[in-house]
Structure 1
Amino acid sequence: MIEFKLPEIGEGVIEGEIVQWLVQPGESFAANDALVEVMTDKATIEIPAPFDGAMQTHRAAEGDVCAVGSVIATLSEGASAPAQASAPAANAPARASAPAANSPASPARTDAAILATPAARALAREHDIDLASLPASERGRITKREVVAAKQQGLSGPAPQVMSAPPPMPTPAPVAVPAGMPTPAARPAAQPAVAAQPVARADASARTDEYLPFRGMRRKIAEGMSRAYSTAVHYTYVEQIDVTKLVALRNQAKRSAAEQGVSLSYLPFIVKAVCHALKRYPIVNAELDEANSRIVLKKRYHVGIAAATDQGLMVPVIKDADLLSLLDVAREIKRLGEGAKTGKLSRDELTGSSFTITSLGTIGGVLATPILNYPEVGILGVHAIRKVPVVTEDDEIAVGHIMNLSVSLDHRIVDGFEGASFLQEVRRYLEDPTLLLLAGI
């Protein structure tokens, strides 16, 4: 047997978390086949097999954090499966036949036993789709993509039970009147007092709580958020921006951009406006080096773009965004976003940002308080653009386009006046995009 150690994953990486074993004990593999998914920082990496062989045992379980160089599995070299793996398989029919004696069919798997992403589970619950009826993706788990496909095909779970109506109340028997007594005037018979009955409900005994593993990307996100929230002193400043001119400029540029194969959104304009504002207020493009009691003012403008994926929130980084053209920024946003969703980005593409932008896209919202991407000292929240009535410079009412921006800052480093001034500078470039043209976007 050969010990399989966690290899060096990247410069400065000392440990990794076992996210998922792709080869189980007893299964064979070929050289360079992916054996295991390992997460470090925010990058998930597949570790390849060094030779043809078979998996003997897992020395580390999914969710374990292992040091680089530690043994995580044992392998056997050669294409055949190990002998001890066949023993459990020989006994499997006997164990499987036991339930058959009591019931004609074995019970179906519950959703909790199916490997699926949190987003897939949530969408399946919303549309009453049985996860057990869906095929897994090529990576061995059910993702949001499979659930959406099932929704479009009209697949759903069993119809909900219909509550039966409560039985009718019995009619009281008439009361006899003795002879010689006057007959009372006709009136409705008094109904006897009836004790309150519980509301009828459908049978919910089959409902069970669902347990999602707290590991991988979700645990990394939680660690980062906890560190940022407990370390930095957050405060948020919000501004409403009239982007009517920006909307007109973007509409004019969309066709030319499409001819060059670029889908031009508003985000590249915001990235460029942020870069100009960071240069004027460098304290927002900074980092606190507590170990050496100093503030580091970054001279390179690496802008992180938060991206929602099936695995959780990731922050791909546009390196030296100030040196790229508007269309190049758009190309990078698209490339990095697609790489984040497929999990194909390198560690370098997910680290090193000096300022982050998080956009809620079409969800919009009025106000949000973004949590800092530690150790950065600033993060910008972008909300949806809405058509609203605005007052023009001629005191006339017209249709305008309004967008809210919210910036969260570390009050240990950035004073309130500096933070507000930074966002006002971003506002200046977005409300008058000719300034971006003059600055050479």
Structure 2
Amino acid sequence: MAGLIQRHGSVLVRRFLASGKRITRNSLATARFHTSTQLDKRVSFNLSDIGEGIREVTVKEWFVSEGDTVEQFDNLCEVQSDKASVTITSRYEGKIVKLHKQVDQIAMVGSPLLDFDVDDEEQVSDDNSNSSSDTDEDVPAQAVAVAAGGGHGVKVALTPCGKVLATPAVRRIAMEHKVDLHRVKPTGRSGRVLKGDVLEYLNMIPEGTVKPHPTLLRTQPTASPEVTDLRQLETIVPIKGVAKIMVKSMTECLKIPHFAYSDELDVSKLVSLREDLKAEAQAQGIKLTYMPFFVKAASNALKQFPILNSTFDEANERLIYKSYHNISIAMHTPQGLVVPNVKNVERKSILEIATDINSLQERGSKGSLTPNDFANGTLSLSNIGMVGGTYTHPCILAPQVAIGAIGQTRLLPRFNASGQVIAAHIMVVSWSADHRVIDGVTMASFSNAWKKLLEKPQLFLLDAK
């Protein structure tokens, strides 16, 4: 009999004895024993099919070494495909005797990753792979999940659905003492029932001897519902109205070869002047901002450099000079970005320009601007400083040939004529010009003429209209 047990495996013979049948040579010979895993406890852990047509992965990191003893569901390694990074977990308990792949080596699907020396009590499936099914009835059917990595991964063992997670050795103890494992409180990793849990349930050891695994002490986050179609999280907004016009105009403007020029201005005197005039303008029912000064200064500088007040007729390769100064002003409205213009600035005072700007802004906020408000603009200005910007690279509004973007005015230290450090109101301007028409010297000269008027606003008096 001892020879029979040695040849056929002690565990399987004990099971046959438990069935109550008499053991004979003939019965052992005809019994369907899975003896291969008992004669050779060394099993290979193969890389299963990851899916998505992936046939190979790269080993990124090993979490174990040869000689380590691991339990079921311990992390073994992390592998990387061209689509995802996946953590491989163990389905066996036992000692690791060989790692088949080193870090950065390629592992093919179906090839062994490592070899285990499993316990005598462990039941090893016939395929010796990290798949999600077991052939031995004592091993619980495992749930299957896809590892993290954008929906691409291998099947890994998770807490089973409807069956208690426990090793065959623990199940044998429970069977011998007729214990329903569903009634035993688990303390092992991820809710596994341990041998100590069964012994506590049977009052063979004091209650509380087995401490819960840390995974049971952590608060499990509430899983958010999985979104199978990302389009459910998208909102489709058709482009129409002002936004549709902007798409067309900006597409056209970026066909223009832009070049940029930037400079800074000391507008301390302009700040003081505007503060003095603001109350008087308010008495006349006019809100006086800095923009009317910028617009008027641009008009005066255009008289010296009329080429910046032209439009480029690309089809006929010619410039069209405009005698009127219709200065376009970029405005943010509930409908989007609009660029209406103040007509005939060259003939208007600063207060008249302020009145026109206020009217355009009011009608823009109500969406009541007319096509005439946008027609025949000759030069554009944009005040990005209203939202805190400094430098930018504005896009020219075709068929115009230049645009200026005015940055935020900041109080900064500067040296005066005597070499003393003073607080100065510094503003930055960024110009963009059509390099087919405007050269750098012309753009810089125009900017300097505009800058001179704003740094010395009393010069407006010399040609006030």
TM-score range, shorter chain: 0.5 to 0.7
The one-letter code matched in structure 1 to 2:253 is: A
Question: Where do 1:142-153 residues align within 5 Å?
Answer: none
Question: Where do 1:316-355 residues align within 5 Å?
Answer: 316-355=340-379
Q: What is the CA–CA distance in structure 2 between the aligned matches of 1:204 and 1:282, rounded to whole Å?
A: 63
The one-letter code matched in structure 2 to 1:424 is: N
* Equivalent residues of 1:241, 1:431 under 8 A apart: yes
Quote how far apart the aligned CAs of 1:362 are.
2.4
| Equivalent residue, structure 2, for 1:221 | 246
- Is 1:362 the counterpart of 2:425? The answer is no
| Equivalent residue, structure 1, for 2:21 | none
Q: 2:317 aligns with which of 275, 287, 293?
A: 293
Q: 1:171 to 1:245 in 2, by over 3 A?
A: farther
* Equivalent residues of 2:264, 2:429 under 8 A apart: yes
| Equivalent residue, structure 2, for 1:241 | 265
Instruction: Find the residue that maps to 2:323 and give its secondary structure.
Output: coil
* Equivalent residues of 1:298, 1:354 under 8 A apart: yes
Instruction: Find the residue that maps to 2:233 and give its secondary structure.
Output: coil
Q: TM-score, normalised by structure 1?
A: 0.54
Instruction: Find the residue that maps to 1:405 and give its secondary structure.
Output: strand
Instruction: Find the residue that maps to 2:409 and give its secondary structure.
Output: strand
User: Which piece of structure 1 moves more, 292-301 or 246-255?
Assistant: 292-301
Q: 1:168 to 1:297 in 2, by over 3 A?
A: same
Q: What is the CA–CA distance in structure 2 between the aligned matches of 1:247 and 1:171, rounded to whole Å?
A: 78
Instruction: Find the residue that maps to 1:263 and give its secondary structure.
Output: coil
Q: Deviations over 1:187-227 (max 9, x none)?
A: xx9x8999xx9986544749621111022221110100001
Quote how far apart the aligned CAs of 1:361 are.
4.0
| Equivalent residue, structure 2, for 1:212 | 237
Instruction: Find the residue that maps to 2:397 and give its secondary structure.
Output: coil
| Equivalent residue, structure 2, for 1:379 | 403
Q: What is the CA–CA distance in structure 1 between the aligned matches of 2:373 and 2:226, rounded to whole Å?
A: 47
Q: 1:389 aligns with which of 413, 436, 449?
A: 413
Instruction: Find the residue that maps to 1:384 and give its secondary structure.
Output: coil
Q: What is the CA–CA distance in structure 2 between the aligned matches of 1:259 and 1:193, rounded to whole Å?
A: 73
The one-letter code matched in structure 2 to 1:289 is: D
Q: TM-score, normalised by structure 2?
A: 0.52
Q: What is the CA–CA distance in structure 2 between the aligned matches of 1:421 and 1:288, rounded to whole Å?
A: 20
Instruction: Find the residue that maps to 1:247 and give its secondary structure.
Output: helix
| Equivalent residue, structure 2, for 1:35 | none
Instruction: Find the residue that maps to 2:376 and give its secondary structure.
Output: coil
The one-letter code matched in structure 1 to 2:259 is: Y
Q: 1:437 to 1:210 in 2, by over 3 A?
A: same
* Equivalent residues of 1:371, 1:379 under 8 A apart: yes
Q: Deviations over 1:13-63 (max 9, x none)?
A: xxxxxxxxxxxxxxxxxxxxxxxxxxxxxxxxxxxxxxxxxxxxxxxxxxx
Q: Deviations over 1:116-150 (max 9, x none)?
A: xxxxxxxxxxxxxxxxxxxxxxxxxxxxxxxxxxx
| Equivalent residue, structure 1, for 2:151 | none
Q: 1:304 to 1:174 in 2, by over 3 A?
A: same
Q: What is the CA–CA distance in structure 2 between the aligned matches of 1:326 and 1:357, rounded to whole Å?
A: 16
Quote how far apart the aligned CAs of 1:382 are.
1.1
Q: What is the CA–CA distance in structure 1 between the aligned matches of 2:344 and 2:247, rounded to whole Å?
A: 28
* Equivalent residues of 1:316, 1:337 under 8 A apart: no
- Is 1:309 the counterpart of 2:333? The answer is yes
Instruction: Find the residue that maps to 1:291 and give its secondary structure.
Output: coil
Q: What is the CA–CA distance in structure 2 between the aligned matches of 1:319 and 1:371, rounded to whole Å?
A: 21
RMSD: 3.1
Gapped regions of structure 1 (runs ≥ 5)? 1-166, 176-188
- Is 1:434 the counterpart of 2:458? The answer is yes
Q: What is the CA–CA distance in structure 2 between the aligned matches of 1:376 and 1:406, rounded to whole Å?
A: 16
Q: Deviations over 1:161-206 (max 9, x none)?
A: xxxxxx998898889xxxxxxxxxxxxx9x8999xx9986544749
* Equivalent residues of 2:389, 2:407 under 8 A apart: yes
Quote how far apart the aligned CAs of 1:360 are.
1.8
Question: Where do 1:178-217 residues align within 5 Å?
Answer: 202-203=224-225, 205=227, 208-217=233-242
Q: 1:257 aligns with which of 267, 281, 288?
A: 281
Quote how far apart the aligned CAs of 1:439 are.
2.6
| Equivalent residue, structure 1, for 2:445 | 421
* Equivalent residues of 1:382, 1:405 under 8 A apart: yes
Q: 1:199 to 1:406 in 2, by over 3 A?
A: farther
- Is 1:398 the counterpart of 2:425? The answer is no
The one-letter code matched in structure 1 to 2:289 is: S
Quote how far apart the aligned CAs of 1:379 are.
0.7
User: Which piece of structure 1 moves more, 259-268 or 364-373?
Assistant: 364-373
Q: What is the CA–CA distance in structure 2 between the aligned matches of 1:370 and 1:341, rounded to whole Å?
A: 23
Percent identity for Structure 1 against Structure 2: 31
| Equivalent residue, structure 1, for 2:4 | none
Structure index of larger Rg: 2
* Equivalent residues of 2:262, 2:428 under 8 A apart: yes
Quote how far apart the aligned CAs of 1:345 are.
2.2
Q: What is the CA–CA distance in structure 2 between the aligned matches of 1:298 and 1:292, rounded to whole Å?
A: 17
Instruction: Find the residue that maps to 1:246 and give its secondary structure.
Output: helix
